């Protein structure tokens, strides 16, 4: 942006762009490029993503699981580039829902938003629950289902209160979380590499004779879930497009930064942890079921481990905050287009904080209810949580597929970011990657288990989609609004 343009004039220009797209809002456009990026980074959260699944994936695929972060990062960058083109032309709050509306149509948008909203609410609950053991270690008490539930409820309540305080506080907390997480990951990783390295770099190519049906690649695909459950969050930058000045330029840049910086931080953290494992065969055999505790206990001692847990706790809080902010903006966008019951209340912005108060409260209450249900029905909630990441991937691919559909109809992106001659190959490659990733995430891997366990992700996914279709057919929410739709190839 030209430095001679005053902030007020820039905001007016952004308001004119939004009006040309058929909308107006009273959001506070105060989120800078770095703050917008920080929201995506803390949603992606390298520390949360890497540390949560590290032990399981290392046991499943051995040290070569490290390369999954690189391969998945490349695939998700393809998806990110497609998103960048779309958000640059349609910088509208709510992200995937309004994009789907413009690229394909109202019914498609309803299903994209439905699947994404359910997945986000479940993910908020899952991340909040995942914080329990780390916070227990920090505060010195024993982790249990009851304490994890209480921690998750407290974390959700704190995130809700912070989000209700407004965009400026959200941006500041996101920046604080980003700095703490990045510095923490770099400091912890560097210390482990310099002082606690027990393995050589060659171990990254050592499969330790892991094989499934005589082959290593099925084990690697299982371990690749480490990267697949990590590399999303960049779309959150677009969820708050109406809170960011010059979003057509800044949001696509923030999205790409999320992948580059978040991916690099994740790979560095994973590398440091793998090389710091004293006995990898013990992890693979199950003798060392918690390699993180082994590493941190040996490297940092009781006091140092608590400092590490403090950094991890900040990462979890920031992640929940960013997830909830994204979910609330999606709900707001839905309500603004009269796409659901209670739209009149959910689309209201607070006159003081300029955030969707009712939508934020709902996005705090629903995850809290999921957490409570999970305490009593832990097996059932595990099935739902397992769908959350696949649901986000499904929503992503509905946008990638929608962009391809719009291109076939004649859409030529007109935002400040375009792929030019690379648009078609990138879009097709992103779709192929996304479909293969969903197949890998859903693939049954416990042949001795009952069918409903093996195919739990598919079963839960079909239920979510069926409920969304029934609601759409019965209440016909897509017919309530005259907001623009199916017009990407017409402009």
Q: For 247-304, give the DSSP string.
A: HHHHHHHHHHHHHHHHHHHHHHHHHHHHHH-S-HHHHHHTSSS-HHHHHHHHHHHHHH
Q: Please report, for the domain that includes residue 160, its CATH number.
A: 1.20.1740.10
Give a yes or no: residue 430 inside a domain.
Answer: yes
The answer to whether residue 6 sits within a structural domain is no
Backbone angles phi, psi at 429, to 5 degrees: -65, -40
pLDDT digits over 119-132, tens only? 999 999 988 988 88
Contact of 429 with 401, CB cutoff 8 Å: no
Residues 257-263, mean pLDDT to the nearest whole number? 94
Range name among 427-436, 446-455, 460-469 with the lowest pLDDT average: 446-455
The verdict on residue 417 lying in a domain is yes
User: CB count, 10 Å around CB of 154?
Assistant: 13
CB neighbours of 65 closer than 8 A, spacing ≥ 6? 57, 58, 220, 223, 224, 226, 270, 274
Q: Which structural domain range is residue 118 located in?
A: 23-479
**Is 50 exceeded by the pLDDT of residue 45?**
yes
pLDDT reading at 1 higher than 50: no
The predicted model gives 60-67 an average pLDDT of 95
Return the pLDDT at 213.
83
Write down the pLDDT at residue 384.
64
Q: Which residues, 6+ apart, have CB-to-CB distance to 378 below 8 Å?
A: 145
State the pLDDT at residue 103.
Answer: 97
pTM over 0.85, yes/no: yes
Number of Cβ atoms within 10 Å of the Cβ of 163? 28
Query: Residue 212: which H helix or E strand, with range?
Result: none
Tell whether 490 is covered by a domain. Answer: no
242 — phi, psi (to 5°)?
A: -80, 0
pLDDT at 230 over 90: no
* φ, ψ of residue 246 in degrees (nearest 5): 45, 55
Digit-coded pLDDT (tens) for 79-112:
999 999 999 999 999 999 999 999 999 999 999 9
Is the residue at 125 inside a domain?
yes
Task: Name residues whose C-beta falls within 8 Å of residue 382's C-beta, 6 or more positions apart in sequence.
Answer: none
Residue 287 included in any domain: yes
- pLDDT per residue as tens digits for the range 293-337: 889 888 888 878 888 888 888 888 899 999 999 999 999 999 999
Distance CA 389, CA 395 (A): 10
Instruction: Flag whether 13 is in a domain.
Output: no
Separation CA 140–CA 264 (nearest Å): 32
Total number of domains constituting the chain: 1
The band of 381, judged by pLDDT with boundaries at 50, 70 and 90, is: low
Domain assignment present for 257: yes
């Amino acid at each position: 942006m030209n430095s001679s343009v005053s902030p007020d004039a820039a905001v007016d220009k952004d308001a004119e762009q939004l009006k040309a797209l058929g909308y107006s809002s009273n959001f506070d456009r105060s989120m800078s490029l770095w703050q917008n990026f920080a929201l995506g980074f803390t949603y992606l959260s390298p520390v949360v993503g890497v540390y949560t699944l590290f032990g399981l994936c290392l046991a499943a695929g051995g040290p070569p699981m490290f390369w999954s972060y690189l391969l998945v990062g490349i695939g998700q960058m393809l998806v990110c580039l497609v998103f960048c083109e779309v958000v640059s032309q349609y910088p509208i709050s709510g992200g995937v829902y309004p994009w789907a509306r413009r690229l394909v149509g109202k019914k498609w948008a309803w299903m994209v938003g439905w699947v994404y909203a359910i997945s986000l609410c479940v993910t908020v609950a899952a991340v909040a629950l995942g914080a329990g053991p780390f916070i227990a270690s920090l505060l010195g008490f024993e982790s249990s289902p009851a304490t994890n539930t209480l921690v998750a409820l407290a974390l959700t309540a704190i995130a809700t209160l912070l989000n209700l305080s407004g965009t400026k506080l959200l941006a500041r907390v996101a920046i604080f979380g980003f700095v703490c997480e990045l510095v923490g990951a770099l400091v912890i990783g560097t210390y482990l590499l310099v002082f606690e390295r027990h393995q050589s770099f060659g171990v990254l190519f050592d499969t330790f004779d892991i094989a499934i049906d005589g082959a290593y690649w099925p084990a690697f695909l299982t371990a690749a879930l480490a990267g697949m459950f990590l590399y999303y969050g960049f779309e959150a930058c677009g969820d708050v497009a109406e809170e960011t000045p010059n979003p057509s330029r800044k949001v696509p840049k923030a999205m790409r930064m999320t992948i580059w910086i978040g991916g690099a931080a994740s790979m560095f953290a994973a590398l440091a942890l793998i090389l710091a494992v004293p006995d990898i065969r013990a992890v693979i055999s199950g003798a060392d079921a918690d390699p993180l505790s082994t590493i941190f206990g040996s490297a940092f001692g009781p006091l140092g481990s608590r400092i590490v847990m403090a950094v991890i706790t900040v990462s979890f809080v920031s992640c929940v905050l960013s997830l909830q902010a994204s979910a609330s903006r999606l709900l707001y966008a839905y309500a603004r287009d009269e796409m659901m019951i209670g739209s009149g209340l959910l689309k209201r912005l607070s006159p003081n904080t300029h955030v969707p108060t009712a939508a934020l409260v709902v996005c705090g209450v629903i995850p809290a209810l999921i957490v409570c249900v999970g305490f009593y029905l832990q097996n059932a909630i595990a099935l739902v949580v397992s769908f959350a990441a696949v649901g986000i991937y499904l929503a992503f691919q509905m946008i990638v597929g929608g962009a391809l559909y719009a291109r076939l109809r004649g859409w030529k992106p007109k935002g400040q970011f375009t792929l030019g001659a690379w648009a078609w190959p990138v879009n097709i490659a992103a779709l192929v990657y996304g479909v293969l990733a969903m197949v890998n995430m859903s693939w049954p891997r416990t042949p001795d288990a009952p069918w409903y366990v093996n195919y739990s992700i598919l079963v839960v996914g079909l239920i979510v989609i069926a409920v969304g279709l029934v609601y759409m057919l019965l209440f016909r929410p897509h017919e309530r609004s005259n907001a623009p739709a199916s017009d990407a190839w017409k402009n």
